[in-house]
């Protein structure tokens, strides 16, 4: 269950970022775990996501079978519906399994002018060498 709290600065445009480097979801075909780093950026209006509820929600995927695209987009949509932010994006950077990494990106809203959004800082997969 995701919870939200009131934004103490609703009159200020700023970016909030959550980085979750230990996201795990079960492959619905093989039952094997898939690992990813999730980066969630949003520009809040009236609401902020309560961080402990977000951590517990993201950890609940460990026993859930879903494809990378399915869970990344679903998380983004759920946060967008709960928070109604000015702008939200989620990047799912999945570790390769079977030789192919899959990165999934979703966003909603329009980034307000003047908001600094740094790179998500997750390196794409590089083979050894």
List the one residue out of 76, 65, 70, 74 whose CA is nearest residue 102. Answer: 70
- Concerning whether 27 is annotated as a catalytic residue, the answer is yes
- Give the gyration radius of the chain's Cα atoms: 15
Count other C-beta atoms under 10 Å from residue 60's C-beta.
Answer: 11
For 12-51, give one letter per residue: b (16+ CB within 10 A) or e.
ebebbebebeebebbeeeeeeebebbbbbbbbbeebbbee
Determine which one of 3, 11, 34, 103 is catalytic.
34
- Concerning whether 34 is annotated as a catalytic residue, the answer is yes
Determine which one of 11, 27, 103, 119 is catalytic.
27
User: Mind telling me the catalytic residues?
Assistant: 27, 34
């Amino acid at each position: 269950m995701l919870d939200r709290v009131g934004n103490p600065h609703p009159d200020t445009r700023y970016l909030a970022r959550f980085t979750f480097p230990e996201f795990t979801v079960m492959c619905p075909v093989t039952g094997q775990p898939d690992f990813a780093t999730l980066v969630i950026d949003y520009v809040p209006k009236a609401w902020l996501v309560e961080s402990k509820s977000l951590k517990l929600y993201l950890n609940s995927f460990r026993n859930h079978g879903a494809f990378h695209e399915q869970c990344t987009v679903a998380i983004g949509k759920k946060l967008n519906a709960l928070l109604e932010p000015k702008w939200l994006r989620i990047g799912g950077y999945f570790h390769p399994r079977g030789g192919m990494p899959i990165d999934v990106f979703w966003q909603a809203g329009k980034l307000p002018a003047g908001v600094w959004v740094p790179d998500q800082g997750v390196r794409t997969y590089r083979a050894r060498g």
